[in-house]
Every structure is written in structure tokens, then in C-alpha cells.
Structure 1
């Protein structure tokens, strides 16, 4: 459990650092649409860090479920937010990694449906 929480805490700190750099440095360097994309990446990263924190602190989930959910959401964050960071901050041409962003979004959706299914099972007493 603490391994996941340690990684999640670090991911949360990185999110705040990126947000601060965005507000104070990147905003002046990026076009308005590029900055909007960057902000979306930071916002989605933080949403999912908070979800990961909640999942990993919830006593009603098995360690296996916590581990699986953590992997799914972290891969989703990496693909979704990471690809946007790569495009906006490192100038990786979008044409080279364009399918990674929606794939990351899809993986995040899978994580949410997995969470939904787990809650549904618990609501049915399974």
C-alpha cells in the first residue's frame, strides 16, 4: 500500500510543480491554444492523482484491486498528460504521437469503469 501512496504523492507534487511552471513560465512561452492544452494535461493529471489517492486509502478494496487500478490510471496519466506535455513543452511533433493522447484518455475511462464495476459488485454484496 505505501509503495503506491509514495508514488502517488510524488505524482501529486510533480503535478503542482508543472502547474506552477505553467502559470509562471510556460504561459508566456506557449500560444494560447498550446497553453490550454497544457492546462488540460495538468488538470487531468491532478484529477487522477486524487482518484488514485482515494482508491489506495479506501479500506474496502483489495490490494490486488488497488494495484491494478493504480497501474491503469498511471498508464492513462502517462499517455494522456505525458503526450500533451511532450507536444507542448518538448516540441515533439503531434503527428508522431497523435494516437497516444486519445489512447491515454481511453485508458483513464477504462479505469473509471473498473472502479464503477467494483462499486457495483460491492453494492450487490459480492
Structure 2
């Protein structure tokens, strides 16, 4: 599986960039609470970017490709919805995106549940 490793590596790179942006450029522009929200978005983006890379690496084992692909898709959706909505909340006045954040969290949970299921169902020889 190539796309999860490429996407995961790209999202990890941009998480580091966003973290640096938040620590340096945003520090004097937004409230401490907003900065905390931004850093939460960075942390979840990074951990789930690594999860995408993990899924790509696990594809070499006897795990369901279908479940791994679904898990990767949910991790990606989670990053877009969860981290993306938090970034948007901090950087703009678009407050309507707030209710999207929990949907991203749900996507993360589904992704982990799918990965768990793939591990439990692993084909043993």
C-alpha cells in the first residue's frame, strides 16, 4: 500500500510545519486557549499521520487489505475533519466548523477499531 505511507509522511511533515507556525507565528496573534486548540490539532495530525504509515507497514503482514485500507481512509478523514476544523476555528471566524470536530474524532475511533479488527482476524499459519 503506497498511498498511506506517502500521505502519512506528507501529513507528518505538514504537522511539524504547523507546529512551528503555531509556536512562533501564532503566539502573539491568538489567545492562549486558541494556541492550545491549534497544538491539539497538530498533535492529532501527527499521531494519525504516523498511524497511516503504520497501516502501510502492516500491509506486509497477513492482515486484511480491505480493513487496512478502510482504517487508513478513516484516519485520513479524521485528520481532515478533526485537525482541519480546529485549524479553521483558530485561524478564521468560521465558528460553524466547530460541530465537525467530533466527526473527525469518530473517524479516528473507527480507524483504530478497524485496525484492531484486522489484528484480531489476522491469518495465522
Q: Could you state the TM-score of these two structures normalised by the residue count of structure 1?
A: 0.88
| CA distances 1:47-78 after superposition (whole Å, capped 9, x unpaired) | 10111111111211344333222211000110
Q: Which runs of 5+ in 1 are unaligned?
A: none
**Structure 2: distance between partners of 1:88 and 1:57:** 34
For these two proteins, the number of residue pairs brought into alignment is 123
* Structure 2 gaps, min length 5: none
Q: Given the alignment of the two structures, is residue 120 of structure 1 paired with residue 120 of structure 2, yes or no?
A: yes
Matched with 1:24 is 24
Question: Partners in 2 of 1:8 and 1:28 — Cα distance?
Answer: 30
Counterpart of 1:103 in structure 2 is 103
Give 1 or 2: higher helix fraction: 1
Residue in 2 aligned with 1:39? 39
Greater relative contact order structure (CA < 8 Å, 6+ sep): 2
TM-score (normalizing by structure 2): 0.89
Match of 2:7 in 1: 7
How much is the aligned-residue C-alpha RMSD, in angstroms?
1.8
